[in-house]
Chain A
Amino acid sequence: KAGVTQTPRYLIKTRGQQVTLSCSPISGHRSVSWYQQTPGQGLQFLFEYFSETQRNKGNFPGRFSGRQFSNSRSEMNVSTLELGDSALYLCASRITDAEAYEQYFGPGTRLTVT
């Protein structure tokens, strides 16, 4: 079974632009979560989607948004990019949204904002 895939793997954007990242979960998995990893803040939860609905959201500004499609694929969007948005963005999938299930991570998208 294929793992979690994320596209693109690397991205360079200019401050003020917007960006869309994509995540395809493991086949059969319906929950997708997004995390941001930076050297200063570590790994922080952005949001989780299940059945096309946002179930949980972390403490990030409204410039960070996401959605999930009927095939469970998810996208996250960051508008008006700031230098501090440079980070590794990781997507994780789980079979369901219940707590007691293992999550699996994709390879990440490394975003650089200049």
Chain B
Amino acid sequence: GIQVEQSPPDLILQEGANSTLRCNFSDSVNNLQWFHQNPWGQLINLFYIPSGTKQNGRLSATTVATERYSLLYISSSQTTDSGVYFCAVKVRSTNAGKSTFGDGTTLTVKP
């Protein structure tokens, strides 16, 4: 099956710093989402981005499907950005309902 690798596994920042999270995947996908898992466990949708670039406030994401990677940018980080960030992909045509998740990047933003 498809492999999804996220890096770095852990990231510690000072408030106000910028960061880039990466998601590499091993097969063609036509569905890619970034999530932020809050301390209570809920996955919060950040971006649906199978290709291209999107921005939402301090967050932006880019997916280069032909090169099989996606990047999540967080600018001017805040303590509330702390948590685990996941990317999830769906492989074309087979087992359409199944999302494969990476292991996540745990972000800690210190005041």
Contacts and interface: CB of A to CB of B under 8 A. Distances in A.
Given A45-B98, A45-B99, A100-B31, A108 B42 contact: yes
Contacts of B97: 31, 33, 45, 48, 50, 55-56, 97
Interface stretch (B33-41, B63-71, B73-81): B33-41
Interface residues of B, number: 25
A30 B94 CA distance: 19
Contacts, number: 63
Q: Is the interface of A mostly helix, strand, loop or mixed?
A: strand
Interface in B81-111: 86, 88, 90, 92-93, 95-101, 103-104
B30 to A, nearest CB: 5
A102 B30 contact: no
Interface residues of A, number: 29
Nearest to B35: A105
29 contacts: A31-B97, A33-B99, A35-B101, A42-B101, A42-B104, A43-B86, A43-B101, A44-B101, A45-B98, A45-B99, A45-B100, A48-B97, A55-B96, A56-B97, A58-B98, A90-B41, A97-B97, A99-B30, A99-B93, A100-B50, A102-B33, A102-B45, A103-B99, A104-B45, A105-B42, A107-B40, A107-B41, A108-B41, A108-B42
B83 to A, nearest CB: 14
Given A99-B31, A105-B42, A110-B41, A48 B103 contact: no
A37 B43 CA distance: 11
Interface string A70-85: 0000000000000000
